[in-house]
Amino acid sequence: LSGPSMRGYTIVAGRDGVIERKHVTAMAAWLQRVPERLHRLGDRADQAEAITTLAGQLLRPYKLPASRRDAGLLRLELGLARQQARLEDVEG
């Protein structure tokens, strides 16, 4: 979405309207950090608690309305848990 072939397009989010290129770049950087952070969790005994904490840390920089923040946090926790399970299958 941030490549030169996409410069002529306007990106519109379903709830937030027009998205600027800087937001696409920031999200790409954020997405690259997620696997690194999951990998650092390793084989901790308190995996669920660690994922909950990580989700809160990853979501912190984003401004979400209070009405959507809890749902966003739960969705992120579930996604992180699923991604962690995939990583464990690949590595194990």
∠ Cα 28 34 35 (to 5°): 115
Angstrom distance (rounded) from CA 31 to CA 6: 19
pLDDT in tens, 40-84: 887 777 888 999 999 999 998 888 888 889 999 999 999 999 998
pTM assigned to the model = 0.74
Predicted pLDDT at 75: 95
pLDDT in tens, 4-34: 888 889 989 887 789 888 888 888 998 998 9
